[in-house]
Structure 1
Amino acid sequence: MDELEFRRRLFADPNDKDVIAQADTDSAKQRLVKEMQDFDATLHSALDISVPDDLAQKILAKQQADTDASSKQSAEVKQLAWYRRFKAPLATAASALLAVSLYFATSVHAPLQAGEHALQHVYYEAESLALTDEVQLQEVNEKLAMFGGKLEAMPGKVTYATFCNFKGQRSLHLVFQSDHGPVTVFIVPTDSNDAASTQQRFADERFSGSIKPGERADTILVANLDTPLEQYQTAVNDSLRWL
């Protein structure tokens, strides 16, 4: 298979036996295969959220308790207005819904906006900001080619380049060094279920961020508060080419 077919099949299935065999004699391809397999395993682990076996029983028990309490209260009332006759079943349904909602609210994190997620991601991988060894542009483009793109240049020395899980979407995570400190770049393919097109700027007490929506991918930059993000955002997007 040719290079494009190799990358297409690797992206679709990192455990494809033909793809693995194709990489046997090429160390660069072997490295890509290993990274994609590791990322695929991480992504599946992150999305594997188990539901307790006794969830249904807890909801039914809560429903029965509310029904019994409502029945007891109703028996003590001599006369009911017509609209109050529906109170017990409505309360039961509301309680069951509340039980389910409370469970999932405490078991699954609420979805984050793209900017919030970018900040959280940067804090989670804060060690990447301290790296100083250069990652060659060729290695960056080997990874970016998995999305059908390449970078002609970067506005600073790249010191970090890896695949990442950006809100469940397989993306590219880069860090380059600028005169204002390290700048994190996320290149997120636009087939993501939660596009970043509704948010342009974001910030917290330490970092500011910028989102540039694109037809093939959104580029998200995060840097120190005094960094001229517009300048670097333009440089990255002007250098980005799609194959």
Structure 2
Amino acid sequence: MDELEFRRRLFADPNDTEVIDHAIKNPEQQSLVNELQDFDSQLKSALQVDVPVGLADRILEKQHNDEASNVVNIAWYRKYNKPFATAASMVLAVGIYLMSATNSPLQAGEHALEHVYYEVNALERRQEVALQVVNEKLAMFGAQFNSLPGKVTYATFCNFKGQKSLHLIFQSEHGPMTVFIVPAQNNDYKQENGHFSDERFTGFIANGQKADTILVANLGTPVEDYQTKINGALRWL
């Protein structure tokens, strides 16, 4: 089993016994196995959270208010204590997914903004993440970056509407910028190339044959220019 096959099979199923056995004698591969298994466990745990009484009504009311005001704000649950807020945020994400799956498709721009607001504290990180670490994660999709237009301060796998994706944040002269790299296969959202925004952030989506790249930054940022730089530095293996 070569490195590319190992990463692709691990990405498809972190509990593949052949992949796990293959990684036993390789510390770097074993680290990736552990990380993907932890991520998989977190997703399963999120689906097992008990729904608080009245949460469904609050989600529906919030969705109605958001549609009326066209403002993305999913932080209503922050007024509760931390354990409940964590559980509620997971249930909210599941609720939004289920409602969007049974009704109109969730636009990628809307989902990207919700994701940024949910992890807004990550924008404050300043410790650099090495490009090598970023590429180790990106290799799971069969790609790598030659460079990025700023210091990377956040790099983790995330669930972008049911699709395992890579969530990056890098620092620029316009402030922190979020990049989602979403593999193109089986994407469960609809969005054409182009801009989206709300009262705080602006974003740009570039559809690709193998993956979509979605950039979110502060209002006034020339996101299309940065999107061009990012796509120009992305190489498929």
SS in 2 for 1:192: coil
1:199 shift after superposition: 5.2
Q: CA RMSD in A?
A: 2.2
Check conservation: 2:116, 2:178, Cα contact below 8 A. Answer: yes
For residue 184 of structure 1, the aligned residue among 152, 161, 178 is 178
Deviation at 1:158, TM superposition (A): 0.6
Q: Say if 2:205 and 2:213, in contact at 8 Å, map to a contact too.
A: yes
Q: Which residue of 1 aligns with 2:29?
A: 29
Once residues 187 and 132 of structure 1 are traced to their aligned partners in structure 2, the CA distance between those partners, rounded to angstroms, is 21
Provide the residue aligned with 1:42 in structure 2: 42
Shift of 1:12: 2.0
The aligned amino acid for 2:35 is E
Give the aligned partner of residue 15 of structure 1.
15
Q: Deviations over 1:115-172 (max 9, x none)?
A: 1110110111112111111111111111111111111110001111111000100100
Instruction: Identify which range, 232-241 or 30-39, moves more after superposition.
Output: 30-39
Tell me the CA shift for residue 21 of structure 1.
2.9
1:77-100: CA deviation from partner (whole Å, max 9, x where unpaired): xxxxxxxxxxxxxxxxxxxxxxxx
Matches within 5 A, 1:140-179: 140-179=134-173
1:137 aligns with 2:131: yes
Aligned to 1:68: none
Q: Does the alignment pair 1:223 with 2:194?
A: no
**Do the aligned partners of residues 192 and 240 (structure 1) sit closer, same or farther apart at CA in structure 2, a change above 3 Å counting?**
same
- The one-letter code matched in structure 2 to 1:9 is R
Query: Quick one: which amino acid aligns to residue 217 of structure 1?
Result: A
Q: Structure 1 232/184 Cα, relative in aligned 2: closer, same or farther at 3 Å?
A: same
Residue ranges of structure 1 left out of the alignment (5+ in a row): 51-106
Q: Cα distance, 1:39 vs. partner?
A: 2.1
Kindly indicate whether the alpha-carbon contact (under 8 Å) linking 2:147 and 2:233 is maintained by their aligned counterparts in 1: yes
Q: How many residues of Structure 1 are paired with residues of Structure 2 in the alignment?
A: 188
Asked if the contact 2:162–2:188 (Cα under 8 Å) also holds between the matched residues in 1, the reply is no
TM superposition shift of 1:18: 2.8
- Secondary structure, in 3 states, of the residue corresponding to 2:167? strand
TM-score by length of 2: 0.73
- For 1:171 and 1:196, locate their aligned partners in 2 and report how far apart those are by CA, in whole Å: 16
2:206, 2:227 within 8 Å by CA — same for their partners in 1?
yes
Write the letter of the residue equivalent to 2:202: S
String of CA shifts for 1:58-108, please: whole Å, max 9, x gaps.
xxxxxxxxxxxxxxxxxxxxxxxxxxxxxxxxxxxxxxxxxxxxxxxxx94
| Deviation of 1:201 (Å) | 1.2
SS, match of residue 116 in structure 1: helix
Give the gaps of 5 or more residues in structure 2.
Answer: 51-93, 101-105
Residues 47 and 206 (structure 1), Cα distance of their counterparts in 2 relative to 1, 3 Å cut: same
Q: Residue 188 of structure 1 contacts residue 217 of structure 1 at CA under 8 Å; is this kept in 2?
A: yes
**Aligned-partner Cα distance in 2 for 1:191–1:216:** 7
Task: State yes or no: 1:125 paired with 2:141.
Answer: no
C-alpha contact 1:196 1:218 (8 A) present in aligned 2: no
Give the fraction of aligned pairs with identical amino acids, expressed as a percent.
Answer: 64
**1:193 corresponds to which residue?**
187
SS at match of 2:185: coil
Residue 144 of structure 2: SS of its match in structure 1? Answer: strand
Aligned amino acid, residue 11 of structure 2 = F
SS at match of 1:160: strand
- The DSSP-based 3-state class of the residue aligned with 1:139 is helix
Task: Give the direction of change, closer, same or farther, for the CA distance of 1:196–1:133 in structure 2 (3 Å limit).
Answer: farther
